[in-house]
Structure 1
């Protein structure tokens, strides 16, 4: 839902062995010294394919808070696809994106024992091994590139490794999921996909329209991601993907992350049972090697206070005014799942999947292994 994660004040996770002393006992036991002095040797790969640490109510210009650091430590995540781009506005999104990247570079510099930027498959493993949170810089719109394909190289040099082609509306690349024309991928968009393939960057189609999604999957020479979405077969809303899109994505080795968003239901507040239903449907269509979790949310649990309710309603109304609000966005339906409103939600999801008789191996794939595999396939030691 969110236009950009600049308002989410993303955070880092726990650091090395020293940081383990600050963690709850259950997590501290997991952060043990392994072979080659790797603090996180016994930690599993946990990746949120769209999300990030922080609190919904954090001051987005402030340094990372201790409370959010503590929550991030509880999460068990080893990496996140962190949105650094602006969306929906050619006039200001380039400058906004540069500003966001500078902010996160500063946070990494301030907390080198807690987080690191991930630019390669080796970095992904280094983040897990060191117990730091890996920040994978990503876009949720192509608008920061304007009409200049050379900006791919500029942003790649700055560490961006995931590029979503469209947000909800039409841009020069193609149609977003809210465009009634469903015009598909443009000629410029095809050139962008080709360049991203050449530069070993991951293409993301989460907010893309159906034709844009299908045409980009066909045009790409390497697997593609839909980092955060739901299944239209269960909730026929524009932000969800059809079985046809999901199957074609998986057939070419791609990945779909299921989000924890209002769009898991056609109406009303989704709960954990809705998330599990979407995960299981995606597994049925795509196979267990192509499904994961892209929460599209912050790590810290949200306190539903009067202040939060007002802020949330104001944000929904502002998105409606800008024309980027998707059907299903409602001031009374929150962008988190109430019974997963906890920092360690990935661990709880694992418990729920296990109770449904999913194997440990499958659960490990869903909680991060599949997205890690995709990144390694696309980045190819870049």
Structure 2
């Protein structure tokens, strides 16, 4: 999951100032979101009853007219409910949320993380699970390996599942395993997950040692296989060295901006600029790391998106939620499970600063399956053009996938 103040929000430049008439036209429809965002700036555990009460009484959310026609991609997430048992079949609610989300595709994690001993078997089991879900629901889901299949998913109204790794540990020391997992449908390979592995240092390693020789060889192998390199969770040197070594654009599928919240899971402006210069795309997540302290909201997400646009340009920013597609049912059971998950991650040494038992892994004012539609409406209200919003929602990642996966 992941220098200046975390509450800083860049003011929009003159070309993004909303037209006064447009602002008036959407002001009533956006009232609910403005109100919740204002409350969210003060959010803490005792305020949750107030947030939920305000949400129940508030008017309907604003949406973006272009959403139905847009290619909408979540660069890290997946169908399902947070409280579902591991490997349980997708519920009727989860499948309904697939349809309600309006998503065209999502990068779903199939790898294990942090353990060489069990990850190969765990990864194969995860791939088999998602293959079974696709086979059971061919009207809702399809596997995406190519840009053409991504376009087909959008045209057919199905959710395209892009299999991805969040750690290189499943391949062990054997680069030939890249080809094996490629044959199984894996199209995105994240090099590290927080800790050090044989490839390089994750973002929690104090040594910040960068890529190993094996790591450089893996970058070359992934380029050769036309697979997308993902540098989320990577240390700064690992990130910058992989960008420089790759012969094509790479992704940072889910991250935030360190300039707004100086936490290890967020990327510095230098990393973001070098990513953009190579043609890559950074997905901004909906995670606790958007703030140094307290519960983040849509206000924080938009601040990180706008900062990334200012640093990278609008062609290099997207969304990687790092969450389940279905909304969170915020109740005592969720709070207990979340606290247990944080404790487990700390015990395993993979928890990042910013993960707290009372700061939750979703944004309260975007807690719906169609959250990206609502986000698009908020961006439009901020004065961002329809063309820019379409890029952020998925156009940029669609271009990156097509470039990375195309034959050499």
Shared fold by TM > 0.5? yes
Aligned twin of 2:137:
111
In 1: Cα distance, 2:195 partner to 2:184 partner: 26
Task: Give the one of 355, 362, 366 matched to 2:392.
Answer: 366
List structure 1 segments (4+ residues) > 4 angstroms apart after TM superposition: none
For the 8 Å contact 1:122–1:381, the answer to whether it is kept is: no
> Does residue 330 of structure 1 match 2:356?
yes
| TM-score using structure 2 length | 0.83
Task: Give the one of 341, 356, 373 matched to 1:315.
Answer: 341
Task: Give the one of 102, 127, 134 matched to 2:128.
Answer: 102
Aligned twin of 1:267:
293
Alignment of 1:30-41 (within 5 A): none
> Does residue 200 of structure 1 match 2:226?
yes
Higher relative contact order (CA 8 A, sep 6+): 2
Spell out, residue by residue over 1:283-338, the C-alpha distance to the aligned partner (whole angstroms, 9 max, x if none).
00000000000000011111111111111100100100000000000000000001
In 1: Cα distance, 2:371 partner to 2:139 partner: 24
| TM-score using structure 1 length | 0.89
For the 8 Å contact 2:167–2:190, the answer to whether it is kept is: yes
Task: Give the one of 339, 342, 357 matched to 2:365.
Answer: 339
Q: CA deviation at 1:61?
A: 2.2
For the 8 Å contact 1:292–1:366, the answer to whether it is kept is: yes
CA RMSD of aligned residues (A): 1.7
Q: Whose radius of gyration is greater, 1 or 2?
A: 2
For the 8 Å contact 1:228–1:295, the answer to whether it is kept is: yes
How many equivalent pairs are there? 348
Aligned twin of 1:145:
171
Q: Is there any run of 5+ residues in structure 1 with no aligned partner, and where?
A: 3-26, 32-41
In 2: Cα distance, 1:106 partner to 1:30 partner: 33
In 2: Cα distance, 1:175 partner to 1:61 partner: 30
Aligned twin of 2:276:
250
Task: Give the one of 192, 201, 207 matched to 1:166.
Answer: 192
In 2: Cα distance, 1:163 partner to 1:63 partner: 25
Q: CA deviation at 1:63?
A: 1.2
SS of the residue 2:314 aligns to: coil
SS of the residue 1:50 aligns to: strand
> Does residue 351 of structure 1 match 2:377?
yes
Quick one: structure 1 residues 353 and 215, their matched pair in 2 at CA, closer, same or farther if it must change by over 3 Å? same
Task: Give the one of 51, 67, 72 matched to 2:98.
Answer: 72
In 2: Cα distance, 1:276 partner to 1:30 partner: 19
For the 8 Å contact 1:120–1:381, the answer to whether it is kept is: no
> Does residue 276 of structure 1 match 2:302?
yes
Q: CA deviation at 1:30?
A: 9.8
Q: CA deviation at 1:359?
A: 0.1
For the 8 Å contact 1:43–1:129, the answer to whether it is kept is: no
